Amino acid sequence: MPEVWEDWSWSEVYPSGEELRRYFAHVEQKLHINKDVDFRTKVVKAQFIREKSCWRTETEDGRVTESQFLLPCTGLASKSYTPAFRGMENFKGKIYHSEYWPKEDVNIQGKKVAVIGTGSAGIQIIQEWAKEAGTLTVFQRTPNLALPMRQLQLPQEQQVIKSMYPHVFRDRGKTFAGHVASQIPKRTFDVSPEEREAVYEDVWRKGGFHVIIGGFIDVLTDPQANRALYDFWARKTRSRIHDPRKRDLLAPLEPPHPIGAKRSSLELNYYEVFNQPNVDLVNVREENIVEFKPHGI
């Protein structure tokens, strides 16, 4: 909607949580949609009433709403999960879950900290905590095939960028997955090795999801094409990790799964973090977490 974006300028390509909250406030100021939203409300039942050709939705507090349409936009990971590790109740330190992150800063300056899991939230926490923690131990089950974010600061004057918005909004409806990135109409092995490498280098330079959905059209449909892209990713990523043990755990030569089959996270300096002397990596497939002790895991 032009009335929303005409007088709003982003400061960077991937905005921070603080900037997103400012944007939400801006949208509310323009559209006044909060009055139509029930926040902190849990839906416990939804049923289609054939006699009335409508949906009946019931919330936890007993309210019932009838509507012609129901859009259950719950996302892929809307329900948090906390493993039932033995002895967690005996741990004397603090435990934070990424879903329930406190608004105030978490002070980990010089402390011994651990991060369990290397999903998208884990990667963000690891990148930040490695800057200040005395020691940071990362417990990994499956390596995250993370892609370079290529964060960019945007100029305050964005009239040129905004003039392209209508074209971007129109064209993204024609692309795979609705992203700005569009695949090239070629298959991986229909080109020479030199051209294939050039395409890989181009999407790598662009970063983000361009790597997976901005290259050849058969990356997600042909296992051999997928493996070729994985090998390129592994070669690029392994060159950033100094320690051979960590290198094999973070970017193994054999793919843990097809690249793109699980959503890849975006990273800034995730792999370089593991070159720091204060950061260690534990493979829980070989050293499983048995229990929490009062002062450690």
Q: Output the pLDDT for position 223.
A: 98
238's enclosing H/E stretch is: helix 223-238
Q: Output the pLDDT for position 75.
A: 77
Residues 6+ apart with CB under 8 A from 136: 113, 114, 115, 126, 129, 130, 278, 279, 280
Residues 6+ apart with CB under 8 A from 251: 143, 233, 234, 237, 238, 241, 271
Q: Output the pLDDT for position 129.
A: 97
Torsion 283-288-290-291 (CA) sign: positive
Q: What pTM value is reported for the model?
A: 0.89
Q: Output the pLDDT for position 160.
A: 81
DSSP state string for 37-79? --TT--EEEEEEETTTTEEEEEETTS-EEEES-------SS-S
| Phi, psi (degrees; rounded to nearest 5) at 163 | -65, -20
Please report, in tens digits, the pLDDT of each residue of the chain (297 residues total).
Answer: 889 999 999 999 999 999 999 999 999 999 999 999 999 899 999 999 999 999 999 999 999 999 999 999 887 777 788 899 999 999 999 999 998 889 888 999 999 999 999 999 999 999 999 999 999 999 999 999 999 999 999 887 787 888 888 888 888 888 888 887 889 999 999 999 999 999 999 999 999 999 999 999 999 999 999 999 999 999 999 999 999 999 999 999 999 999 999 989 999 999 999 999 999 999 999 999 999 999 999
DSSP state string for 101-128? --SSPP--TT-EEEEE--SHHHHHHHHH
Q: Output the pLDDT for position 78.
A: 75
Residues 6+ apart with CB under 8 A from 223: 258
Residues 245 and 251: their CA atoms lie apart, in Å, by 10
